């Protein structure tokens, strides 16, 4: 392992020959782009070619980011949750084109009978906000949660629009998986047994009791000074909507009630499964999971049909790409974001991944067989393409072109 001093702390790790520029940009993030603590990992054709970490995992205590430091990754968890449904699809437990109500009859209430699995997990179902207040006690009771989810009325005619199901996506995915899994496991338990353990990953969707907090990076959340400084990068229409308590943009992100984004990684929310928002992991293990999907899925016995569905083009809603929650254009498919003119990653439309609040991002690039992940603990202000992450991704692909 090599170490290089930066303005904050040491950058550690290693890169394969030809990827030195990626490390240089990772170090520059600390010197010039305000990085606090972060990690980056890249697998290429199944081999780890970039594995870097540095800075502080806890600024207050001046403790360094270690090789095995984990961190809350917010919506990057969505990509991991989508892997569980992909595995269920590969095993013939569900069909992306089948109606959700076929597997979950109670779901048919309130005009949801004809919503397909594809529409649900592509943010087209209109279920981005839940009318009932969701407390940690309710989230821990999956039967009670399922009743509330089934009773929710869509905010628009399913299939006609899409809007980011920022928190609710994971709850609906979790109940759907519980219905089709012969063992009726929760999504977190299914992920641990069927993906994390076979691949040797340490990823948690819901922290186990007694987990040592010292191993988890302390988030430095948004500050009012930072919001003012970065005000221009937040989409104007979203800024206008998110301050209205009755709007979808507001309601999609504040149920359960939180006072800071970091609350998703603190008890009691850290102890329940929120498969769209509270995954805690290392960059290395997220990249490793995506690598399994990017290299053909043999390690998980994934069928070709499943991988083709994930790498295939998104099927947009009839009303176009405008997101009714984020108030920008977006492109979703089967639990993932897909590349489009407003967010380009990978080399073509076969890529799929999930960015998280603050700047984290993980994705698979089947064309180049790349599994990629970046995580950090100082939260940025972009929906995606945080400058710290984007420069690393772009440098990586320049290195790949030169190879």
Residues that are catalytic: 75
Q: How far apart are CA 321 and CA 328, in angstroms?
A: 8
DSSP category for residue 6: -
Tally the residues of the chain.
Answer: 403
Query: Quick one: tokens of 320?
Result: 């176009």
For residue 237, give the nearest of 163, 297, 347, 295 by alpha carbon: 163
For residue 264, give the nearest of 124, 41, 78 by alpha carbon: 78
Q: How far apart are CA 57 and CA 386, in angstroms?
A: 19
Query: Quick one: tokens of 217?
Result: 């990076």
Which parts of 161-282 fold into alpha helices (H)?
168-180, 187-191, 197-199, 224-229, 236-242, 248-251
DSSP category for residue 247: S
- Distances from the Cα of 32 to the Cαs of 35, 75, 308, in angstroms? 8, 26, 40
Query: Quick one: tokens of 276?
Result: 């769209």
Query: Quick one: tokens of 402?
Result: 């030169």
For 49-109, the DSSP string reads EEEEEEEEEETTTTEEPPTT-BEE-GGGHHHHHHHHHHHHHHTTS--TTSBHHHH-GGGGG
């Amino acid at each position: 392992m090599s170490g290089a001093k930066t303005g904050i702390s040491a950058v550690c790790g290693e890169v394969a020959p030809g990827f030195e520029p990626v490390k240089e940009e990772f170090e520059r993030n600390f010197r010039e782009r305000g990085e606090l603590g972060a990690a980056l990992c890249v697998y290429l054709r199944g081999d780890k070619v970039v594995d870097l970490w540095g800075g502080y995992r806890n600024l207050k205590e001046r403790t360094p980011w270690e090789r095995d430091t984990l961190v809350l990754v917010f919506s990057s968890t969505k990509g991991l949750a989508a892997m569980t449904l992909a595995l269920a699809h590969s095993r013939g437990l569900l069909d992306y084109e089948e109606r959700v109500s076929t597997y979950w009859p109670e779901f048919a209430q309130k005009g949801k009978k004809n919503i397909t699995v594809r529409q649900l997990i592509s943010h087209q179902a209109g279920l981005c906000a839940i009318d009932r207040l969701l407390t940690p006690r309710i989230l821990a009771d999956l039967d009670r949660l399922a009743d509330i989810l089934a009773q929710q009325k869509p905010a628009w005619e399913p299939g006609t629009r899409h809007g980011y199901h920022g928190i609710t996506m994971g709850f609906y995915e979790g109940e759907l998986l519980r219905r089709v899994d012969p063992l009726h496991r929760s999504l977190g338990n299914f992920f641990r047994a069927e993906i994390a353990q076979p691949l040797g990953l340490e990823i948690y969707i819901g922290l186990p009791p007694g987990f040592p907090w010292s191993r988890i990076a302390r988030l430095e959340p948004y500050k009012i000074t930072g919001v003012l400084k970065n005000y221009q990068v937040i989409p104007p229409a979203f800024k206008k909507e998110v301050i209205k308590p009755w709007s979808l943009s507001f309601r999609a992100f504040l149920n359960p009630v939180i006072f800071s984004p970091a609350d998703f990684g603190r008890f009691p929310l850290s102890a329940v499964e929120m498969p769209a928002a509270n995954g805690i992991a290392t960059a290395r293990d997220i990249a490793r999971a995506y690598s399994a999907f990017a290299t053909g899925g043999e390690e998980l016995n994934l069928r070709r049909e499943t991988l083709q569905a994930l790498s295939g083009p998104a099927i947009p809603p009839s009303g176009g790409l405008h997101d009714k929650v984020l108030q920008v254009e977006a492109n979703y498919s089967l639990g993932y974001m897909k590349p489009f003119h407003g967010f380009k990653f990978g080399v073509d439309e076969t890529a799929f991944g999930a960015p998280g609040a603050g700047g984290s991002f993980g994705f698979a690039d089947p064309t180049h067989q790349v599994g990629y992940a970046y995580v950090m603990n100082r939260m940025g202000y972009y929906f995606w393409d945080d400058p710290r992450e984007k420069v690393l991704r772009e440098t990586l692909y320049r290195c790949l072109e030169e190879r």
